Amino acid sequence: MKQLIECVPNFSEGNDLTIIKQITDSIESVEGIKLLNVDPGKATNRTVVTFVGEPAAVVEAAFKGIAKAAELIDMSKHKGEHPRMGATDVCPFIPVANISMQETAEWSKKLAARIGNKLHIPVYLYEEAQEDKNEIIFQSSEQVNMKASLKRLNKQIGSLILVLQNCLQIPVLLLLALVIF
């Protein structure tokens, strides 16, 4: 029996139908994917897309849609009533048939790794896919290296920051910003 996952990505474009069509075309280009719904919202400037397929096809279609959205949507010019995180705000996976929630979560982790490694976009896993409830998952090797470097830096200069903060009366966040950047 076929395993089926539904995917409901939310893209930060609800007005420009040519951009929305390019995103949905990239999703539909994956064999075995059935596009169920496209719901653009003008006030929110956000489109909710719903599609279904077997797990590997869903991961491929979601990746293609997210890549196309990242290519076409300029978040520096984005306006809308709904809060947004990026060109793709969320991309939930829902088990539909013959697949557990845990298996579905594993497929979402595969997508997250691919997004991080290929598109260099940080990914936050949530609900069942999230292992550490307080951590953003940085998947690309550059991001992993940066994260490790920042942890080492934090350990090395932790006491220095406290000393400087006490001496100079400068907020810690400002010091961290100066040290990191």
User: Which residues are known catalytic residues?
Assistant: 82
Q: Which segments of the chain are extended strands (E)?
A: 4-7, 10-11, 34-41, 46-53, 88-90, 93-97
Do residues 50 and 74 make contact, with C-beta atoms less than 8 angstroms apart? no
Distance CA 114, CA 126 (A): 17
Neighbour-count burial for 33-43, b at 16+ CB within 10 Å, e otherwise: beeeebebbee
Beta strand pairing status for 34-41 and 4-7? unpaired
